[in-house]
Protein backbone atom coordinates (compact mmCIF):
# COMPACT_ATOMS: atom_id res chain seq x y z
CA UNK A 1 0.00 0.00 0.00
CA UNK A 2 1.30 3.46 -0.92
CA UNK A 3 1.10 6.64 1.16
CA UNK A 4 1.04 8.92 -1.90
CA UNK A 5 -1.80 9.82 -4.20
CA UNK A 6 -1.20 9.57 -7.92
CA UNK A 7 -0.55 13.02 -9.35
CA UNK A 8 -1.77 13.96 -12.82
CA UNK A 9 -2.78 17.17 -14.50
CA UNK A 10 -6.21 15.63 -15.19
CA UNK A 11 -7.23 18.21 -17.79
CA UNK A 12 -6.58 21.23 -15.57
CA UNK A 13 -5.34 24.49 -17.05
CA UNK A 14 -3.92 26.87 -14.46
CA UNK A 15 -3.88 30.65 -14.74
CA UNK A 16 -2.26 33.33 -12.54
CA UNK A 17 0.07 31.39 -10.26
CA UNK A 18 2.79 33.93 -9.40
CA UNK A 19 4.64 33.14 -6.21
CA UNK A 20 7.69 34.79 -4.63
CA UNK A 21 10.89 32.74 -4.57
CA UNK A 22 11.84 34.02 -1.10
CA UNK A 23 9.24 34.12 1.68
CA UNK A 24 10.53 37.01 3.77
CA UNK A 25 8.22 39.44 5.59
CA UNK A 26 7.79 41.72 2.56
CA UNK A 27 7.02 38.77 0.26
CA UNK A 28 4.44 37.38 2.69
CA UNK A 29 2.79 40.82 2.95
CA UNK A 30 2.65 41.05 -0.85
CA UNK A 31 0.55 37.86 -1.01
CA UNK A 32 -2.50 39.92 -0.03
CA UNK A 33 -2.23 41.58 -3.45
CA UNK A 34 -1.85 38.28 -5.30
CA UNK A 35 -4.30 37.77 -8.16
CA UNK A 36 -6.76 34.88 -7.67
CA UNK A 37 -5.67 31.49 -8.97
CA UNK A 38 -7.96 30.36 -11.77
CA UNK A 39 -8.35 26.70 -12.67
CA UNK A 40 -9.97 25.77 -15.96
CA UNK A 41 -11.35 22.26 -16.07
CA UNK A 42 -13.98 20.32 -17.99
CA UNK A 43 -17.25 19.81 -16.17
CA UNK A 44 -20.09 17.47 -17.09
CA UNK A 45 -23.22 16.34 -15.32
CA UNK A 46 -26.07 14.04 -16.19
CA UNK A 47 -29.30 15.75 -15.20
CA UNK A 48 -32.60 13.89 -14.98
CA UNK A 49 -35.49 16.31 -15.48
CA UNK A 50 -39.15 15.38 -15.01
CA UNK A 51 -41.86 17.20 -16.96
CA UNK A 52 -44.30 16.00 -14.29
CA UNK A 53 -47.86 17.14 -14.94
CA UNK A 54 -46.74 18.91 -18.15
CA UNK A 55 -45.69 15.60 -19.75
CA UNK A 56 -48.79 15.42 -22.03
CA UNK A 57 -47.93 18.85 -23.48
CA UNK A 58 -44.44 17.72 -24.55
CA UNK A 59 -45.70 14.33 -25.74
CA UNK A 60 -48.26 16.21 -27.86
CA UNK A 61 -45.62 18.49 -29.38
CA UNK A 62 -43.49 15.47 -30.28
CA UNK A 63 -46.53 14.06 -32.12
CA UNK A 64 -47.47 17.27 -33.92
CA UNK A 65 -50.40 18.10 -31.62
CA UNK A 66 -50.95 21.25 -29.55
CA UNK A 67 -52.37 20.25 -26.17
CA UNK A 68 -53.31 22.65 -23.43
CA UNK A 69 -55.57 22.71 -20.38
CA UNK A 70 -58.81 24.27 -19.21
CA UNK A 71 -60.81 24.46 -16.01
CA UNK A 72 -63.67 21.98 -16.49
CA UNK A 73 -66.07 24.11 -14.41
CA UNK A 74 -65.42 27.60 -15.78
CA UNK A 75 -63.97 26.77 -19.20
CA UNK A 76 -61.00 29.09 -18.53
CA UNK A 77 -58.44 27.88 -21.07
CA UNK A 78 -54.69 28.33 -20.93
CA UNK A 79 -52.34 28.96 -23.86
CA UNK A 80 -49.55 27.40 -21.79
CA UNK A 81 -50.89 24.39 -19.87
CA UNK A 82 -51.34 24.40 -16.11
CA UNK A 83 -52.17 21.50 -13.80
CA UNK A 84 -54.60 23.57 -11.77
CA UNK A 85 -56.68 26.66 -12.52
CA UNK A 86 -55.03 29.77 -11.14
CA UNK A 87 -58.33 31.23 -9.86
CA UNK A 88 -60.34 28.28 -8.52
CA UNK A 89 -57.53 25.79 -7.88
CA UNK A 90 -59.54 23.17 -9.79
CA UNK A 91 -57.57 20.43 -11.51
CA UNK A 92 -57.56 21.21 -15.22
CA UNK A 93 -58.38 18.87 -18.11
CA UNK A 94 -56.38 18.35 -21.30
CA UNK A 95 -57.76 19.57 -24.62
CA UNK A 96 -56.36 19.89 -28.14
CA UNK A 97 -56.32 23.19 -30.01
CA UNK A 98 -55.33 24.01 -33.58
CA UNK A 99 -51.81 25.47 -33.69
CA UNK A 100 -52.81 28.84 -35.09
CA UNK A 101 -53.48 32.31 -33.82
CA UNK A 102 -52.50 35.95 -34.08
CA UNK A 103 -49.50 37.88 -32.84
CA UNK A 104 -50.50 39.78 -29.70
CA UNK A 105 -47.02 41.13 -28.96
CA UNK A 106 -43.43 40.35 -29.95
CA UNK A 107 -39.83 41.20 -29.25
CA UNK A 108 -36.66 40.93 -31.27
CA UNK A 109 -33.97 39.22 -29.16
CA UNK A 110 -30.44 40.38 -29.95
CA UNK A 111 -29.00 38.38 -27.05
CA UNK A 112 -29.99 35.03 -25.63
CA UNK A 113 -28.84 32.12 -23.57
CA UNK A 114 -25.94 30.02 -24.85
CA UNK A 115 -28.33 27.71 -26.72
CA UNK A 116 -29.88 30.59 -28.67
CA UNK A 117 -26.81 32.77 -29.30
CA UNK A 118 -26.20 31.35 -32.80
CA UNK A 119 -29.79 32.33 -33.74
CA UNK A 120 -29.52 35.99 -32.67
CA UNK A 121 -31.32 38.07 -33.60
CA UNK A 122 -34.51 36.03 -33.31
CA UNK A 123 -38.14 36.92 -32.67
CA UNK A 124 -40.32 35.78 -29.78
CA UNK A 125 -44.06 36.31 -29.99
CA UNK A 126 -46.97 36.11 -27.62
CA UNK A 127 -49.56 34.21 -29.62
CA UNK A 128 -53.27 34.72 -29.04
CA UNK A 129 -54.97 31.44 -29.89
CA UNK A 130 -58.72 31.14 -30.51
CA UNK A 131 -60.48 29.68 -27.50
CA UNK A 132 -57.77 30.51 -24.95
CA UNK A 133 -57.80 33.06 -22.18
CA UNK A 134 -54.02 33.43 -21.92
CA UNK A 135 -51.18 33.84 -24.44
CA UNK A 136 -48.57 31.35 -25.62
CA UNK A 137 -44.90 32.37 -25.95
CA UNK A 138 -43.13 30.95 -29.00
CA UNK A 139 -40.52 31.65 -31.66
CA UNK A 140 -41.63 33.48 -34.80
CA UNK A 141 -39.89 32.53 -38.04
CA UNK A 142 -40.26 33.78 -41.58
CA UNK A 143 -40.13 37.42 -40.48
CA UNK A 144 -37.10 39.68 -40.82
CA UNK A 145 -35.99 41.03 -37.40
CA UNK A 146 -34.72 44.16 -39.17
CA UNK A 147 -38.22 44.84 -40.53
CA UNK A 148 -40.05 44.56 -37.18
CA UNK A 149 -43.01 46.90 -36.92
CA UNK A 150 -46.38 47.46 -35.33
CA UNK A 151 -48.05 46.03 -38.45
CA UNK A 152 -47.07 42.59 -37.15
CA UNK A 153 -49.54 42.96 -34.25
CA UNK A 154 -52.67 41.03 -35.18
CA UNK A 155 -50.90 39.09 -37.95
CA UNK A 156 -52.32 35.59 -38.44
CA UNK A 157 -49.77 32.85 -37.75
CA UNK A 158 -49.70 29.06 -38.01
CA UNK A 159 -47.76 26.68 -35.82
CA UNK A 160 -45.28 24.19 -37.10
CA UNK A 161 -43.78 21.32 -35.13
CA UNK A 162 -40.14 20.28 -35.25
CA UNK A 163 -39.79 17.01 -37.12
CA UNK A 164 -37.15 15.82 -34.65
CA UNK A 165 -38.63 16.64 -31.27
CA UNK A 166 -36.25 17.73 -28.54
CA UNK A 167 -39.01 17.67 -25.91
CA UNK A 168 -38.61 21.41 -25.38
CA UNK A 169 -41.03 24.34 -25.72
CA UNK A 170 -39.15 25.21 -28.93
CA UNK A 171 -40.61 22.08 -30.57
CA UNK A 172 -43.37 24.39 -31.83
CA UNK A 173 -42.81 27.68 -33.62
CA UNK A 174 -45.04 30.01 -35.60
CA UNK A 175 -44.80 31.59 -39.05
CA UNK A 176 -47.02 34.05 -40.97
CA UNK A 177 -50.20 32.38 -42.28
Strands (E), 71-141: 93-97, 100-109, 122-128, 136-140
What are the sequence ranges of the domains in the chain?
52-176
Q: What is the pLDDT of residues 119-135, one digit of tens each?
A: 899 999 999 999 999 99
- Confidence class of residue 147 from pLDDT cuts 50, 70 and 90? very high
Whether the full predicted model's pTM is greater than 0.85, yes or no, is no
Helix, strand, coil % (nearest 5) of the chain?
20, 30, 55
Q: What sign for the dihedral angle of Cα 159, 151, 148, 133?
A: negative
pLDDT tens, position by position, 33-77: 877 777 777 788 998 989 999 999 999 999 999 999 999 999 999
Q: Is the pLDDT of residue 12 over 70?
A: no
Confidence of residue 89 (pLDDT cuts 50, 70, 90): very high
Amino acid sequence: MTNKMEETFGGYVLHNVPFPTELDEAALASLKKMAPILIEQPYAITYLHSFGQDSPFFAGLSNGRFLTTRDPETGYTYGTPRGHDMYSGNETEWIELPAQGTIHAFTVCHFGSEEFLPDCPFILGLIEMPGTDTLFLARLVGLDPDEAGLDWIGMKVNGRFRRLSQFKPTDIYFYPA
